[in-house]
Structure 1
């Protein structure tokens, strides 16, 4: 525990505990809270990375904020301070039936204080209440992450054309880990979340029920990994995701990204899925253009706010 005492709260009975790790019981309570909020809001309040960090004990740079009222879990926040340059990143949620009572502001204030008043905060889905809370906390909008979608019709997906000398196979867990992590880091050196993935992050994802190596495509030239397309299936929504496409810097610009995207989309269509989705930063105009040419259109947006520098 980073602070043995509960953070002082203005409302009688409200407490905020700051923890380095959650017990299995606490993690289950938070998962239930997140599920209830997602059912109400139509969007997850905490990212996949944040949800993975609920379990597995202590993780360097990650703190959990449990807001309770008379012992009942009412809100949850997570602060991740792992980027050596960027401000700590926060996500938070309040139980749907307990909103409008100042709990979100209390959590936001605690996260802001714990970050040293140097904070980035996500508003997934760009909901009005989250935008208002960001304004109340004095945060300014600086990043827009778009979720794009398109229908999955096999006949409407271009035949993939690979660059000369490139072959594609599927990922072998344990065998390809190190090579994939190296290419991922190089391909996303500019990206604060994706480029920093570690072996533990990879293990977290390959242990998830959705993981299927048949949907994880690797492109090689002369036996060297130069690109990949990792797909993901959201079974409950019957939705296929272009989870991540990465190309090694020296292999970029030759059409490999487009070919790998097509290979993954064809795989998802063959699985019987009717819709594909992906996430892309709004200011990455080159990528947005490529995906729009592939038939993707904006479905919703996630907004990130930060303290003024």
Structure 2
């Protein structure tokens, strides 16, 4: 399947629904297929046109149907194919889409996870935060920092089913994206021994700033690094002139949600994941 074919389907769905049906990882699995894992692609075509698509990657699945071809049983066909391949698959519904719940519950699936999208207006008075003397704050350099970052990311997101499994190939695919800007990717290291304690990776696209990945090494928790790095990002976003800031956070991550709420973020929507109980 050509990447442009998939993009055309994804764009048509997002334009109609107002929310993307496929995650960034699904897009990268089409445009930059990794060699270190198997991704299952399940397309449905009508007269040579892609009208429906499902993807299964390490137990996580996404599926959607072109708006002009809905209510024809194609969504049910895609979900049944996913479950036939992986009965315990975790199936995403972004938005969530109103048709997702009856489709999922009709097959014995229930909501097992929520991913909150939180947003905030652009900061108008975000002062540059003072960096404590026991920290060194630098911007990301792939040759110097990639392996350190991957190791801390894996520890910080050890229980996270997607972020915690990021590989060097996954990282390199993101570094190659047009939106990547190393000046918005900071690493906080110990001024004593240079150990990486945490990082903040941001993204700016179409005038929207995103707190892309904020990760703190478990051994450095409780030092206020999350709040400090969030303040660093807000100051940077103010300089970029973004019209809005967004982020995604697990719905059960109460401490992170409190940090973001203190910074002015509020929940806009929740994406949900369905699976067999």
TM-superposed deviation, 1:163: 4.3
Equivalent in the alignment of 1:30: 6
**Greater Cα shift, 163-172 or 288-297:** 163-172
Equivalent in the alignment of 1:177: 146
- Does residue 95 in structure 1 map to residue 71 in structure 2? no
- CA spacing shift, 1:280–1:158, aligned 2, 3 Å: farther
1:155-184 CA distance string (max 9 Å, x none): 1x3653444410211001222111111111
Equivalent in the alignment of 1:256: 225
Aligned-partner Cα distance in 1 for 2:124–2:214? 19
- Does residue 45 in structure 1 map to residue 21 in structure 2? yes
TM-superposed deviation, 1:52: 0.5
1:56-86 CA distance string (max 9 Å, x none): 34641311001122432110100012xxxxx
Query: Paired residue for 2:113, among 143, 154, 171?
Result: 143
- CA spacing shift, 1:275–1:200, aligned 2, 3 Å: same
Query: Paired residue for 2:82, among 101, 111, 128?
Result: 111
For the residue of structure 1 that corresponds to 2:189, the secondary structure is strand
Q: Which has the higher contact order (CA 8 A, sep 6+)?
A: 2
For the residue of structure 2 that corresponds to 1:176, the secondary structure is helix
TM-superposed deviation, 1:302: 0.4
Aligned-partner Cα distance in 1 for 2:260–2:127? 13
Aligned-partner Cα distance in 2 for 1:248–1:154? 30
For the residue of structure 2 that corresponds to 1:295, the secondary structure is coil
Aligned-partner Cα distance in 2 for 1:128–1:158? 42
- CA spacing shift, 1:166–1:128, aligned 2, 3 Å: same
Output aligned runs, 1:52-91, within 5 Å: 52-57=28-33, 59=35, 60-81=37-58, 88-91=59-62
- CA spacing shift, 1:228–1:148, aligned 2, 3 Å: same
Q: After the TM superposition, which segments of 4 or more aligned residues of structure 1 sit over 6 Å from their partners? A: none
Gaps of 5+ in 2: none
Q: Is the 8 A contact 2:198 2:215 kept in 1?
A: yes
- Does residue 224 in structure 1 map to residue 191 in structure 2? no
Cα RMSD, aligned residues only: 1.4
Aligned pair count reads 274
TM-score (norm 1): 0.85
Q: Is the 8 A contact 2:41 2:53 kept in 1?
A: yes
TM-score (norm 2): 0.95
Aligned-partner Cα distance in 2 for 1:138–1:162? 51
Q: Is the 8 A contact 1:163 1:255 kept in 2?
A: no
Gaps of 5+ in 1: 1-21, 82-87
